[in-house]
Amino acid sequence: MAIVTLQDVHKKYPLGKTEVHAVKGVSFAIEEGDFISIAGPSGSGKSTILNMIGCIDTPSEGSVRIGGTTTGELNDREITGLRHRVIGFIFQNFNLVPVLNVYENIEFPLLLGKTNIAKDERRQWIDSLIEAVGLREWKNHKPNELSGGQRQRVAIARALVAKPQIVLADEPTANLDSGTGEAIIGLMKRMNAEYGTTFIFSTHDPTIVEIADHIIQLHDGLITEDTRKSA
Amino acid sequence: MAILLKIAYRNLREHKTKTLIIGSIIALGLLILVVGNSLLDTAEEGIRKMFTENFTGQVIITASRNENLSLFMGPGRMNGEPTPTIPEYPELASYLDALPGVENTVSQITGFATADLNGEGNAFLQLFGVDPEQYLEMFPNTAEVIEGRLLEVEETGIVVSEDVVEMLEESSGRKVEIGDKILLTNINSVSGTKIREIEIKGIIRFVSEAPNLSLISYIDVGSLRALSGMTKVTDVEVDLNREEQEALGRVDEDDLFGSDEDLFADTELVTETSTEDALLTILGDTSEAQAFRELDPDGWQYVLLKLEDSRSPERLIRSLNSYFEEQELDVKAYGWVDAAGATAQLVSGLKTVFNVLILIVAVVAIIIIMNTLVISITERIGEIGTMRAIGARRLFVRRMITLETLMISLAFGVIGIILGSGIIGILNLTGIEATSMFLQVLFGGSVLTPVVSTGSVLASLLMVIVVGIIASLYPVSVALKIEPVRAMNQR
């Protein structure tokens, strides 16, 4: 069942007096539980597509549907709610809240909305995520006391904490050395298998692309290849 | 809320320099506010006490058309216009005597005169015409007698102040004795010049010294009424019949004096019958005119009220004024500040100037805090964008920024208040002495003993909260414009 559907999506940006056509009519569907890579060189439109799936940008033309909801029809409050409930984010620069420690950063999304999880249950769940990303020893450390790889592990745990259906990762390994990058993708893959969460990540690193089950290749805002590996 | 507090507190701690810059401005502002307010409150309280307990009471009542509300010297008094008397005084006095909440009342006339000591020396006097018994009952501690005694009821005489005696002695070169007679001269635009000789019965020293009080002398009411020309005639309207009106209407200077004829050519101006008695009978019966020249026994300019609860006279003033309106009495009630005149208004003036300065400091503080916060938010675009991306609503961002501002404002505001209170405490311990009469008025006594009132502290806290909220408005609007996509673009 498709959890994300893009239908003839275009995105145009004004750039001074000209217009940049970043995405030129892209259509594809992502199934629930997919581990999908959107690959392509810089400027191919990877991040733009990811932003539109993450409801933090809107298409100039066409439609993006998340779990049956057309995102263009929602107001700011509904969009924020959708992002909170359905989507988790992993950023290239980790984007952790600098004044919060590892535990608090992971807990943060749960504190943004009404939650029915009891305090003890919440603590256990966060601890299990910290354990899963291998940061038990670093639980009380602030982001500036962690390495790049460790910060991205915190970001992965934070993206998963609200049990979203989709996790979006924009170039999650771009600021990491190759070994750490591979380890991070490996962790994401494990989480995908363990929690059944759909992972969509963008990258231009061919070695990392290959780990994905479903690869969408982009070039100049158009899909050049949409490959699904057989199980 | 806990997470907001945590983030706000840690952000302030994390950005120490910015926090200290904003905090120092807030603390300094509050320190100035607390110290300034305390000093001004002390001056105001001192002056209020000095006037209400010694000269004015809490409420004064005077004729509605009286424009000289102050009992003391001032520019309004020097134009020669007599102060109007209270109409229907007996009715008013009996109403006030029965008024609940009023501890004491005293009626008063205020006047001015130059005093001449046997042509040898002179002085300028401010005269208070009062019933000595009533006055002493209401203001028992206003002055101490240093020579002679106070006036007795219905006794004619004057009790002069030490300063007046000093002026008379300086100009005459001789000592002023009890029993000396002085000539008082008063001029006003209605009754003209009036001169009265009066005996000095006592010399007093005012307990609370203030520049414009030292020339006050207490005189018997009758003498002051005579000096001020307060006769019954001032309140009488004459109705002329038609013939009299016509006769007056026809009067023309040319008819009387226009002729070339010498009216007195054949008249002997001085005859043997021109005695004083004969001259006095020329106008016939003048008893009616004499009656009009009699002094008005109910001629009073002010009634001063001392209240049982001195803290809130405003309510009584309002109810008195509505009663006067209902009864169509041509009188009005005012507070002690109006009765005290320039000295009390000096403190109000100082307060206004101080508040304007505080307003300027507040505006400068708002601008500095606002700019620093905007810079801080610009540095946190990625963080705020991330929060928005992972599900924080605009309200969360608004609360986060406002809370940070409020936290810093309150924390440093409290530090400012504590420091300000400390300075006031040190001033109290030091016990600065008033070296001039002006300072004595401002200090509300001979030593400065300022206090920090709860009201002033609460008002300062409220002000710092308002400043914090206003200063955060623009930074909040900048933060709310940060779109979640900025988190992705954060490199």
* B4–chain A nearest CA distance, Å: 10
Query: Is residue A33's pLDDT more than 60?
Result: yes
Please give the span between the terminal C-alpha atoms of chain B, in angstroms, as a whole number.
30
Query: Is residue B287's pLDDT more than 70?
Result: no
For residue A146, which amino acid is it? L
| Cβ-based burial of B244 (10 A; exposed 0-12, middle 13-18, buried ≥19) | exposed
B390·A84 Cβ contact <8 A: yes
Q: What Cα–Cα distance (Å) separates residue A189 from each residue in A167, B147, B396? A: 11, 107, 33
Average pLDDT over residues B249-263: 66
Q: Cβ contacts (< 8 Å) between A100 and chain B: which residues?
A: 6-7, 10
Q: Cβ contacts (< 8 Å) between B394 and chain A: which residues?
A: 76
Between CA A71 and CA A74 the distance in angstroms is 6
Between CA A207 and CA B46 the distance in angstroms is 85
What residues have CB less than 8 Å from B104, skipping those under 6 apart?
A: B57, B134, B137, B138, B305, B306
* CA nearest neighbour of A163 among A133, A140, A194: A194
The answer, for A51 touching chain B at a CB cutoff of 8 Å, is yes
Between CA B406 and CA A110 the distance in angstroms is 25
A78, A29 Cβ separation under 8 angstroms: no
* A176–chain B nearest CA distance, Å: 14
The residue that leads in pLDDT, B199 or B47, is: B199
| Beta-carbon pairs below 8 A across chains A and B | 83
Domain locations along chain B:
2-51+344-489, 59-232+295-309
* B475–chain A nearest CA distance, Å: 19
Average pLDDT over residues B275-303: 72
| Cβ-based burial of A94 (10 A; exposed 0-12, middle 13-18, buried ≥19) | buried
What residues have CB less than 8 Å from B126, skipping those under 6 apart?
A: B72, B73, B110, B111, B112, B215, B216, B217
A181, A1 Cβ separation under 8 angstroms: no
A113, B25 Cβ separation under 8 angstroms: no
Between CA B353 and CA B355 the distance in angstroms is 5
Tell me if residue B135 falls in helix, strand or coil. helix
Please give the distance of CA A122 from its chain centroid, rounded to a whole number: 22
Between CA B70 and CA B341 the distance in angstroms is 5
The answer, for A168 touching chain B at a CB cutoff of 8 Å, is no
* B309–chain A nearest CA distance, Å: 55
A97·B386 Cβ contact <8 A: yes
Between CA A89 and CA A35 the distance in angstroms is 15
B6·A104 Cβ contact <8 A: yes
The reported pLDDT for the residue numbered B264 is 65
Between CA B390 and CA B230 the distance in angstroms is 87
A89, A156, A165, A168: which to substitute to probe chain B, counting the most B Cβ within 10 Å? A89
Model confidence over B206-239: pLDDT tens digits? 876 665 677 889 999 989 988 888 876 555 556 7
Report the percentage of chain A scoring pLDDT > 70.
Answer: 98
Model confidence over B162-214: pLDDT tens digits? 888 998 999 888 898 899 999 999 887 777 788 889 999 999 988 766 656 77
Query: Is residue B80's pLDDT more than 80?
Result: no
* A172–chain B nearest CA distance, Å: 11
Between CA B165 and CA B168 the distance in angstroms is 5
Hey, which bits of B236-339 come out as E strands? Answer: 302-307, 331-335
Q: Specify which of A40-49, B40-49, B340-349 reaches the highest per-range mean pLDDT.
A: A40-49
Tell me the three-class secondary structure of A130-166, residue by residue. Answer: HHHCCCHHHCCCCHHHCCHHHHHHHHHHHHHHCCCCE
Q: Cβ contacts (< 8 Å) between B379 and chain A: which residues?
A: none
The reported pLDDT for the residue numbered A189 is 85
Which H or E run includes B102? strand B102-117
Q: What is the DSSP letter of B341?
A: T
Q: Cβ contacts (< 8 Å) between B7 and chain A: which residues?
A: 97, 99-100
Average pLDDT over residues A98-102: 91
Handedness of CA B294, B297, B298, B303 (dihedral sign): positive
A56, A42 Cβ separation under 8 angstroms: no
DSSP secondary structure string for all residues of B159-211: EEEHHHHHHHHHHHSS---TT-EEEEEEEETTTEEEEEEEEEEEEEEESS--T
- Other Cβ atoms within 10 Å of A15 Cβ, number: 9
Q: Cβ contacts (< 8 Å) between B16 and chain A: which residues?
A: none
Query: Is residue B396's pLDDT more than 70?
Result: yes
Average pLDDT over residues B377-402: 87
Which H or E run includes B420? helix B394-430
Q: Cβ contacts (< 8 Å) between A99 and chain B: which residues?
A: 6-7, 10-11, 13-14
A25, A10 Cβ separation under 8 angstroms: yes
> Per DSSP, what are the bridge partners of residue A218?
A223
A97·B7 Cβ contact <8 A: yes
Tell me if residue B134 falls in helix, strand or coil. helix
* A108–chain B nearest CA distance, Å: 8
Please give the distance of CA B191 from its chain centroid, rounded to a whole number: 29
Q: What Cα–Cα distance (Å) separates residue B28 from each residue in A59, B357, B416? A: 52, 13, 6
A109·B10 Cβ contact <8 A: no
Handedness of CA B399, B400, B401, B402 (dihedral sign): positive
Give the strands of the sheet with A87-90, arranged side by side: A87-90, A166-170, A198-203, A35-39, A214-219, A222-228
Average pLDDT over residues A124-142: 88
Strand B216-219 and strand A214-219: the pairing is unpaired
- Between CA B115 and CA B124, with CA B119 as vertex, the angle to 5 degrees is 20
B383, B465 Cβ separation under 8 angstroms: no
Q: Cβ contacts (< 8 Å) between A84 and chain B: which residues?
A: 390-391
Give me A157's structure tokens: 């745990």
CATH number of this structure's domain A33-58+73-228 = 3.40.50.300
Of the CA atoms within 13 Å of residue B449, those in its CB half-sphere come to 6
What residues have CB less than 8 Å from A68, skipping those under 6 apart?
A: none
Q: Which of B11, B483, B488 has its CB closest to that of A91? A: B488
The structure tokens 């009469």 sit at B437
The residue that leads in pLDDT, B187 or B131, is: B131
* A230–chain B nearest CA distance, Å: 32
Give me B383's structure tokens: 């963080």
Strand A61-66 and strand A69-70: the pairing is antiparallel
* CA nearest neighbour of B219 among B237, B239, B201, B241: B201
Q: Specify which of A79-83, B439-443, B486-490 reaches the highest per-range mean pLDDT.
A: A79-83
The answer, for A201 touching chain B at a CB cutoff of 8 Å, is no
B487·A112 Cβ contact <8 A: no
Average pLDDT over residues B460-479: 90
Q: Which of B14, B385, B490 has its CB closest to that of A99? A: B14
The reported pLDDT for the residue numbered B140 is 87
Residue of B nearest to A111 (CA): B3
The answer, for A148 touching chain B at a CB cutoff of 8 Å, is no
Which H or E run includes A201? strand A198-203
Q: Which of B390, B485, B491 has its CB closest to that of A109? A: B390
Provide the pLDDT confidence category of residue A107 given band limits of 50, 70 and 90.
Answer: very high
Residue of A nearest to B11 (CA): A99
The answer, for A158 touching chain B at a CB cutoff of 8 Å, is yes
Q: What is the DSSP letter of B238?
A: P
Tell me if residue B356 falls in helix, strand or coil. helix
The reported pLDDT for the residue numbered B418 is 93
Q: Please, what is the average pLDDT of chain B?
A: 83
